[in-house]
Amino acid sequence: MFTGIVTDIGHVLELEQRGDLRARIGTGYDVAGIDIGASIACNGVCLTVIALGRDPQNWFDVQISAETVGATNVGGWTVGKRLNLERALKVGDELGGHIVSGHVDGVAEVVAMRDEGDSTRVTFRAPEPLAKFIAPKGSVALDGTSLTVNEVAGRDFGINFIPHTKTATTWGEVAVGDLINIEIDTMARYVARLQDYA
Protein backbone atom coordinates (compact mmCIF):
# COMPACT_ATOMS: atom_id res chain seq x y z
CA MET A 1 0.00 0.00 0.00
CA PHE A 2 1.06 3.57 -0.74
CA THR A 3 -0.19 7.11 -0.10
CA GLY A 4 0.50 8.79 -3.43
CA ILE A 5 3.05 11.12 -1.80
CA VAL A 6 6.14 11.00 -4.01
CA THR A 7 9.37 10.75 -1.99
CA ASP A 8 11.99 10.54 -4.75
CA ILE A 9 12.36 11.18 -8.45
CA GLY A 10 14.25 8.27 -9.97
CA HIS A 11 15.31 7.68 -13.54
CA VAL A 12 15.56 4.69 -15.82
CA LEU A 13 19.19 3.57 -16.17
CA GLU A 14 18.69 0.39 -18.22
CA LEU A 15 15.90 -1.54 -19.92
CA GLU A 16 16.31 -5.15 -21.01
CA GLN A 17 13.84 -7.66 -22.36
CA ARG A 18 14.54 -11.01 -20.66
CA GLY A 19 11.23 -12.77 -21.17
CA ASP A 20 9.75 -10.08 -18.92
CA LEU A 21 10.99 -6.49 -19.07
CA ARG A 22 13.75 -5.75 -16.57
CA ALA A 23 14.40 -2.15 -15.58
CA ARG A 24 17.23 -0.64 -13.55
CA ILE A 25 16.16 2.53 -11.79
CA GLY A 26 18.52 5.10 -10.30
CA THR A 27 17.33 6.48 -6.99
CA GLY A 28 18.17 8.83 -4.17
CA TYR A 29 16.98 6.21 -1.67
CA ASP A 30 19.64 4.57 0.48
CA VAL A 31 19.59 1.05 -0.97
CA ALA A 32 21.08 -0.30 2.28
CA GLY A 33 17.61 0.24 3.73
CA ILE A 34 15.76 -1.59 0.94
CA ASP A 35 15.22 -5.35 1.05
CA ILE A 36 15.07 -7.68 -1.93
CA GLY A 37 11.35 -8.29 -2.44
CA ALA A 38 10.36 -4.80 -1.26
CA SER A 39 7.63 -2.96 -3.14
CA ILE A 40 8.34 0.43 -4.70
CA ALA A 41 5.76 2.39 -6.69
CA CYS A 42 7.34 3.61 -9.94
CA ASN A 43 5.04 6.13 -11.66
CA GLY A 44 2.26 4.51 -9.68
CA VAL A 45 3.06 0.92 -10.64
CA CYS A 46 3.80 -1.32 -7.64
CA LEU A 47 6.98 -3.19 -8.59
CA THR A 48 9.09 -5.72 -6.69
CA VAL A 49 12.79 -5.08 -6.09
CA ILE A 50 14.86 -8.02 -7.39
CA ALA A 51 18.38 -6.56 -7.18
CA LEU A 52 20.18 -3.59 -5.60
CA GLY A 53 23.48 -1.82 -6.09
CA ARG A 54 25.53 1.36 -5.74
CA ASP A 55 27.84 1.54 -8.75
CA PRO A 56 28.32 4.46 -9.22
CA GLN A 57 24.94 5.58 -7.85
CA ASN A 58 22.15 3.88 -5.90
CA TRP A 59 19.90 1.73 -8.07
CA PHE A 60 17.37 -1.08 -7.87
CA ASP A 61 16.14 -3.56 -10.49
CA VAL A 62 12.53 -4.55 -11.08
CA GLN A 63 10.95 -7.15 -13.34
CA ILE A 64 7.81 -6.09 -15.21
CA SER A 65 5.40 -8.60 -16.74
CA ALA A 66 3.87 -8.21 -20.20
CA GLU A 67 0.48 -7.81 -18.47
CA THR A 68 1.76 -4.77 -16.56
CA VAL A 69 3.47 -3.29 -19.63
CA GLY A 70 0.22 -3.59 -21.57
CA ALA A 71 -1.98 -2.07 -18.85
CA THR A 72 0.24 0.93 -18.00
CA ASN A 73 2.52 3.50 -19.64
CA VAL A 74 5.62 1.35 -18.90
CA GLY A 75 5.83 0.45 -22.60
CA GLY A 76 6.79 4.07 -23.28
CA TRP A 77 9.65 4.16 -20.77
CA THR A 78 13.08 4.98 -22.22
CA VAL A 79 16.54 5.21 -20.69
CA GLY A 80 16.75 8.54 -18.86
CA LYS A 81 13.01 8.83 -18.21
CA ARG A 82 12.31 10.34 -14.80
CA LEU A 83 9.89 8.47 -12.54
CA ASN A 84 7.86 9.34 -9.45
CA LEU A 85 8.94 6.92 -6.71
CA GLU A 86 7.33 5.99 -3.40
CA ARG A 87 8.30 3.29 -0.93
CA ALA A 88 5.58 1.15 0.62
CA LEU A 89 3.60 2.55 3.54
CA LYS A 90 4.70 1.42 7.01
CA VAL A 91 2.43 1.18 10.03
CA GLY A 92 2.60 4.52 11.81
CA ASP A 93 3.54 6.54 8.69
CA GLU A 94 1.63 9.75 8.03
CA LEU A 95 -1.15 9.25 5.49
CA GLY A 96 -0.77 12.51 3.61
CA GLY A 97 -2.48 11.52 0.37
CA HIS A 98 -5.00 8.70 0.06
CA ILE A 99 -4.78 4.89 0.08
CA VAL A 100 -3.15 3.80 -3.19
CA SER A 101 -2.56 0.15 -4.08
CA GLY A 102 -0.10 0.58 -6.94
CA HIS A 103 -2.42 -1.49 -9.17
CA VAL A 104 -2.91 0.78 -12.16
CA ASP A 105 -6.41 0.68 -13.66
CA GLY A 106 -5.56 2.15 -17.05
CA VAL A 107 -3.95 5.01 -18.93
CA ALA A 108 -5.31 8.55 -19.25
CA GLU A 109 -4.21 11.10 -21.85
CA VAL A 110 -3.24 14.72 -21.25
CA VAL A 111 -5.56 16.68 -23.57
CA ALA A 112 -5.07 20.31 -22.45
CA MET A 113 -2.94 22.52 -20.21
CA ARG A 114 -3.11 26.14 -19.13
CA ASP A 115 -1.32 28.27 -16.58
CA GLU A 116 -3.39 29.75 -13.74
CA GLY A 117 -1.11 32.09 -11.80
CA ASP A 118 1.86 30.00 -10.68
CA SER A 119 -0.15 26.79 -10.96
CA THR A 120 -0.96 24.72 -14.03
CA ARG A 121 -4.42 23.29 -14.80
CA VAL A 122 -4.12 20.00 -16.68
CA THR A 123 -7.07 18.26 -18.34
CA PHE A 124 -6.96 14.48 -18.67
CA ARG A 125 -9.15 12.10 -20.68
CA ALA A 126 -9.92 8.88 -18.82
CA PRO A 127 -10.70 5.56 -20.49
CA GLU A 128 -14.49 5.19 -20.79
CA PRO A 129 -14.82 2.35 -18.23
CA LEU A 130 -13.04 4.44 -15.56
CA ALA A 131 -14.81 7.76 -16.10
CA LYS A 132 -17.69 6.93 -13.74
CA PHE A 133 -15.26 6.54 -10.84
CA ILE A 134 -13.89 10.09 -11.10
CA ALA A 135 -15.77 12.81 -9.18
CA PRO A 136 -15.17 16.50 -8.43
CA LYS A 137 -13.21 16.91 -5.17
CA GLY A 138 -12.49 13.17 -5.17
CA SER A 139 -9.05 11.59 -5.16
CA VAL A 140 -7.19 9.96 -8.02
CA ALA A 141 -3.61 8.69 -8.37
CA LEU A 142 -1.86 9.80 -11.56
CA ASP A 143 1.66 8.48 -12.23
CA GLY A 144 1.73 7.59 -8.54
CA THR A 145 0.78 11.04 -7.26
CA SER A 146 -2.28 11.51 -5.01
CA LEU A 147 -4.29 14.36 -6.52
CA THR A 148 -7.64 16.09 -6.03
CA VAL A 149 -10.02 16.32 -8.99
CA ASN A 150 -11.22 19.87 -9.68
CA GLU A 151 -13.89 19.34 -12.32
CA VAL A 152 -15.33 16.55 -14.46
CA ALA A 153 -17.00 16.73 -17.89
CA GLY A 154 -17.76 13.31 -19.33
CA ARG A 155 -14.45 11.47 -19.66
CA ASP A 156 -12.40 14.64 -19.11
CA PHE A 157 -11.29 15.83 -15.69
CA GLY A 158 -9.06 18.65 -14.48
CA ILE A 159 -6.28 18.75 -11.90
CA ASN A 160 -4.54 21.88 -10.60
CA PHE A 161 -0.79 21.46 -10.03
CA ILE A 162 0.75 23.89 -7.55
CA PRO A 163 4.43 24.86 -7.93
CA HIS A 164 5.55 22.50 -5.14
CA THR A 165 3.99 19.49 -6.88
CA LYS A 166 5.60 20.47 -10.18
CA THR A 167 9.07 20.55 -8.60
CA ALA A 168 8.77 17.63 -6.13
CA THR A 169 7.48 15.24 -8.82
CA THR A 170 7.73 14.81 -12.59
CA TRP A 171 4.60 16.91 -13.17
CA GLY A 172 6.66 19.94 -14.16
CA GLU A 173 7.60 18.03 -17.35
CA VAL A 174 4.12 17.01 -18.50
CA ALA A 175 2.93 17.83 -22.04
CA VAL A 176 -0.25 17.46 -24.07
CA GLY A 177 -0.41 13.95 -25.54
CA ASP A 178 1.39 12.28 -22.64
CA LEU A 179 -0.05 8.98 -21.44
CA ILE A 180 -0.45 8.80 -17.67
CA ASN A 181 -1.01 5.85 -15.32
CA ILE A 182 -4.33 6.21 -13.51
CA GLU A 183 -5.51 4.42 -10.40
CA ILE A 184 -9.02 5.26 -9.28
CA ASP A 185 -9.86 5.75 -5.62
CA THR A 186 -10.60 2.45 -3.86
CA MET A 187 -13.65 3.91 -2.10
CA ALA A 188 -15.13 5.04 -5.42
CA ARG A 189 -14.71 1.51 -6.76
CA TYR A 190 -16.62 -0.03 -3.83
CA VAL A 191 -19.38 2.61 -3.90
CA ALA A 192 -19.94 1.90 -7.60
CA ARG A 193 -20.01 -1.82 -6.95
CA LEU A 194 -22.58 -1.42 -4.16
CA GLN A 195 -24.78 0.71 -6.43
CA ASP A 196 -24.80 -2.12 -8.99
CA TYR A 197 -26.53 -4.28 -6.36
CA ALA A 198 -28.77 -1.62 -4.78
| Chain-centre distance for alpha carbon 179 | 11
Q: In this structure, are residues 45 and 105 in contact, taking their beta carbons and an 8 Å threshold?
A: no
CATH assignment at residue 170 = 2.40.30.20
User: Which range marks the domain in which residue 71 is found?
Assistant: 8-87
How many CB atoms are closer than 10 A to CB 132?
14
Cα–Cα nearest to 132, from 190, 188, 198, 179: 188
Q: How far is CA 115 from CA 20, 35, 141, in A?
A: 40, 41, 21
pTM over 0.75: yes
Q: In this structure, are residues 73 and 180 in contact, taking their beta carbons and an 8 Å threshold?
A: yes
**Is residue 98 in some structural domain?**
no
| Model pLDDT, residue 198 | 62
CA–CA dist 69, 142 (Å, integer): 16
* Number of domains making up the chain: 2
Same domain, 53 and 116: no
Walking along the chain (198 residues) 10 residues at a time, the average pLDDT comes out as 94 95 97 96 98 94 96 97 94 76 96 96 97 93 97 97 97 98 84 70
Among 52, 87, 122, residue at a domain's last position: 87
